[in-house]
Structure 1
């Protein structure tokens, strides 16, 4: 019986650790989602700048532009293109990280479910043992009562 309690406490400890792991993964996933959303927002801003400056360049080319201004436009647009490329790489990295954390969360949740199931089974087993013990004690008591009545009758 003491060994069962030791096992139960071990499962309770493991379940608590699994719950903490799930909570930690949820927090990490929230941060990963926020980071990805912020990176996407920054990419959208860069894309807007890119389209705006492309339009400005087209307007300037239509109305006439100096060579130095053209060089400045091209240099700025190239810098924006590089920023867009870097931001896309960052988004890809953040997406991979978010998927990795989601997988880790799923694994932690599976562990938690396993420990919960084991504790439930252990609890049901203990209740069954207690019920059987109670039935045994009741049966023994009834047998003793019958034996006393039988002895008292003779």
Structure 2
């Protein structure tokens, strides 16, 4: 055997080192779902930025800053998740702005210091469609829908995701 092969065999026979805190433990037999649970709740998100592109061929990008202050998750981008908090968010917004995206909306999801101002719920218009004209599914009103460089009230299909902007 060659010295390189001997060295490789010794490395493979060595037990793995314990993981660094915060590092994924690859020696564990726990399923990934228990290590990082999927949730339908947004309790872990502190702030969200929505970026849209004027060209409808590009998907919207959602950047979430988690309540721990450093975890950043991106949906719809190039898999640019990070763990440097606001610094990552600023770099991602600059990156996607340079690529032609526009900031459609950004807002606090779970503000660490909630304001005392009461939330004013936008009233749903009276001309709600009975069903989606494309697939017949239920329609939902969204007061602040953001897509393709535009933001505003819209009717959205819960089935095929058909949508129609509501013009005031």
Specify the TM-score bucket, using the shorter chain as the normaliser. Answer: under 0.3
TM-score (norm 1): 0.19
Compare CA radii of gyration and give the structure with the larger one. Answer: 1
Q: Which has the larger helix fraction? A: 1
Q: Which has the higher contact order (CA 8 A, sep 6+)?
A: 1
Q: Which has the larger strand fraction? A: 2
TM-score (norm 2): 0.18
